[in-house]
Amino acid sequence: MLSSISDALDADAPDRALRLAAAERAAATALPSPELEVWRYSRIAELDLANFAPAAVRTTVTGADQVPAADAALIAGLVAGMEVHDVFDELSAAYHRTVAISVPSGKVLAEPIVVTHHIEGNGVALYPRLVIHAGADSEFTVVERFESADETEALVVPRLVVHASQAARVSYLGVNLLGTKVWQLGHQQATGERDSTTLLATVALGGDYARVRTDARVVGQGATTKQVALYYADGTQMHDFRTLQDHVAPKTYSDLLFKGAVQDTAKSVYTGLIRIREEAKGSVAYQTNRNLTLSEGAWAESVPNLDIKTNDVKCSHASTVGPVDEEQRFYLESRGIPPEVAERLVVLGFFDDVLGQLPASLQGHGNLRADLRARVAAKLQAAKS
């Protein structure tokens, strides 16, 4: 692993010493085990890192001409604040390729900034990092896409850092359109200052094993964080989500809505934690996870949790796992709709409230909402054909 770092890093890179130190720590750190709570139910035991060599990811960015180049010192400070949880965070620190977006205070962008990672080559490990800073009272949307061909066999380890300054309104959407031979091990960290609003959205349709861990913290009074996700797995795919809604300051708000469907022998896992700290009086937090199992061999696990350390708060969590509602199916079939079409309509309706919460600015960007809905419909159609 250490000998390959020069292949992914220029010899004169200014942070070469930091990268080498991270690579050394990674080499001395074992892979996580499913026995750890945060990796419970996962497929991490199947991963052999020796099968993948670090390489540079090819990334394209559109819409970034709307903002000036990010301040290097500011971005370095945000990166320095990233938490390190496991060997994959260390590997990212060693081999990352970073895209930094910083929107100045008061700036409102009508069009989204789109970052696309093209996952190419077999037997490669790619470490894209996206750092987003929202200046005070700014408003914008960033879309991050992960795409690969069906035959690509690769490991992609993305890292996301989002910082919303006072009264900023930042929306992020991650779209997983990876081929079914790619592993994804993502980690997102977001921080919201006073009166800010942060939306973290995910649409996950691809990958073999695709995992996203999201730590969303509201550290300023009156800050809001929202998390939404749509995921659909078929064949032998597995989608794995771990979330944290961390209330540090008083009178903060968080809301989470994750909806998924599993078909064939596919699997999904959701575990989430609402944490209300002692100083976060007057906070409100909601957490909802709904799952549809569309085949007998499909499996979904849902584990919501609360950790409340103060009074004068309002919190709730809910989760369900089950088949398509028979009353809804019967209603449609009784009006002459074929069974396979009826099920497709029920599933699309199940996902509509998640799609409806995606950033409004996406409507003007090739109508991405409609495109994603069509991709879900195509996946359903393929599963029934």
What pLDDT, in 10s, does the model give residues 339-372?
A: 878 888 888 899 998 988 888 667 555 577 788 8
Q: Please report the pLDDT score of residue 3 as a whole number.
A: 41
How are strands ordered across the β-sheet holding 113-119? Answer: 58-62, 113-119, 139-148, 169-177, 197-204, 224-233, 253-262, 284-293, 314-322
pTM of the shown model? 0.94
Tokens standing for 234?
């078929």
Domain locations in the chain as residue ranges = 2-323
Q: Please report the pLDDT score of residue 364 as a whole number.
A: 54
In this structure, are residues 83 and 189 in contact, taking their beta carbons and an 8 Å threshold? yes
CA atoms within 13 A on the CB side of 175: 24
Mean pLDDT over 29-40 rounds to 94
Indicate whether 9 pLDDT > 80: no
Q: Please report the pLDDT score of residue 237 as a whole number.
A: 97
pLDDT digits (tens, 9 = 90+) for 44-81: 999 999 999 999 999 999 999 999 999 999 999 999 88
Indicate whether 97 pLDDT > 70: yes
Among 288, 202, 196, 287, smallest CA distance to 248 is for 196
pLDDT digits (tens, 9 = 90+) for 240-290: 999 999 999 999 999 999 999 999 999 999 999 999 999 999 999 999 999
Q: Residue 230's CB: how many other CB atoms inside 10 A? A: 26
Rg (CA), the chain: 21
Indicate whether 2 pLDDT > 50: no
Per-residue pLDDT band at 180 (split at 50, 70, 90): very high
In this structure, are residues 376 and 232 in contact, taking their beta carbons and an 8 Å threshold? yes
**3-state per-residue secondary structure call for the chain:** CHHHHHHHCCCCCCCHHHHHHHHHHHHCCCCCCCCCHHHCCCCHHHCCHHHCEEECCEEEEECHHHCCCCCHHHHHHHHHCCCCCCHHHHHHHHHCEEEEEEECCCCECCCCEEEEEEECCCCEEECEEEEEEECCCCEEEEEEEEEECCCCCEEECCEEEEEECCCCEEEEEEEEECCCCEEEEEEEEEEECCCCEEEEEEEECCCCEEEEEEEEEECCCCCEEEEEEEEEECCCCEEEEEEEEEECCCCCEEEEEEEEEECCCCEEEEEEEEEECCCCCCCEEEEEEEEEECCCCCEEEEEEEEEECCCCCEEEEEEEEECCCHHHHHHHHCCCCCHHHHHHHHHHHHHHHHHCCCCHHHHHCCCHHHHHHHHHHHHHHHHHC
Indicate whether 385 pLDDT > 70: no
Per-residue pLDDT band at 1 (split at 50, 70, 90): very low
Owner of token pair 């199992």: 293
Q: What is the Cα–Cα distance from 248 to 275, expressed in whole angstroms?
A: 8
Determine the residue type at 171.
S
% of the chain with per-residue pLDDT over 90: 78
